[in-house]
Amino acid sequence: MTDSPTAPTLTSLARGGGCGCKLDPGVLDEILARTPLAGGFPDLIVDAAGRDDAAVYRLGPDQAIVATTDFFAPVVDDPDAFGRIAATNALSDVYAMGGKPIFCLALLGVPVGEVPAETIRAILEGGRAVAEAAGAPIAGGHSIDAAEPFYGLVALGLVHPDRILANAGARPGDALILGKPLGIGVFSAALKRGLLSDDDYARMIASTTLMNTPGADLAELDGVHAATDVTGFGLLGHLSEVCQASGVRAVVERAAVPVFDGARRLAGEGVRTGASGRNWTAVSPLVETPSDWNDLDRDLLCDPQTSGGLLVSCAPEAVDAVLEVFARHGHESAAVVGKIAQGAPTIAVT
């Protein structure tokens, strides 16, 4: 909490929160369509062309550096929790590439004079604690006086060039495994409306601060072909990026997708984020829906996840090993949610 009874809450200072702050995917596509990509650099193994989670640059035959940045407006009012969530989310992109974080830089914006110094220190301390737990200390950073508060990290990691988990490697016949339940966006919307129970708030914090450390171990498994993390564009949005980068079709089984019970109930009562609608508008041309498709399906499968789970494409014979890695890292809800098939880059929901 803030250190002054008159200080505004963090979420009240921001129009959006968490990964729901991302630009509308349709707007982003329009912007990037005319933005030239980096070219002529053979050691730049992964760039923005495939909409992957991070850039990767080859340092030598056995080592490459993973570089990413992520920041957003407060998704909760507790400053320490906000810092921990934002740092966990930023580090996730390194893990999603199969890398191990090595150090970070902090990015901070606050409306000076509105947010007390103790609150700012608590945000930074939350982020520092997470980064150091990942073995990636925060070595510096940058701060500005901003109209709305935001916090995040530049995260750097290392990966073997032959073990990168790019989103372009999915193969027909692969199984799709999701590491965390959906529903964080619904929880966030309910929190702002005063509708989130204490138990569901605790589940939200536990999920968003659970690091995606399985990614580094999954990169060592021969049967793991591709990975991404599910964040602001929702499950269908990020899966569509995998399909387009890999040139494959995906099948998602609605009943198999893990969703927080409280989020499903709240979504059924009409609690949703504006981002879920934007996500659906962007991805719907690629999605085939069943006859009983409804608004609840749409809102949950397009729900913007803050610090969401890894989405892994792996050979069927690797499924047990992948699930074992997830369980060993505390991701007990990981589940097979579909498969990869041959065909145009589309998604069939069953």
Known binding residue 22? Answer is yes
* 136 vs 107: CA distance, rounded Å: 15
**Do residues 64 and 126 lie in contact, with contact meaning Cβ atoms separated by under 8 Å?**
no
Known binding residue 142? Answer is yes
**Do residues 93 and 213 lie in contact, with contact meaning Cβ atoms separated by under 8 Å?**
no
Known binding residue 180? Answer is no
Known binding residue 188? Answer is no
> For the residues of 258-269, what is the DSSP string, one character each?
-B-HHHHHHHHT
Known binding residue 145? Answer is no
Helix ranges (H only) for 229-336 are: 234-246, 261-268, 274-283, 295-301, 319-328
Active site residue 243: no
Known binding residue 185? Answer is no
Tokens read off for 185 = 């966006």
Tokens read off for 258 = 């893990």
Catalytic option among 19, 21, 104, 243: 19
Known binding residue 143? Answer is yes
Known binding residue 80? Answer is no
Known binding residue 339? Answer is no
Helix ranges (H only) for the chain are: 25-32, 79-96, 117-133, 184-192, 198-208, 214-218, 234-246, 261-268, 274-283, 295-301, 319-328
Q: Which of 130, 135, 321 is nearest to 217 (CA)?
A: 321
Token match 């570089």: residue?
67
Known binding residue 313? Answer is no
Known binding residue 229? Answer is yes
| Residues flagged as binding site for ATP | 22, 50-52, 70, 93, 141-143
| Residues flagged as binding site for Mg(2+) | 53, 93, 229
Catalytic residues: 19
| Residues flagged as binding site | 22, 50-53, 70, 93, 141-143, 229
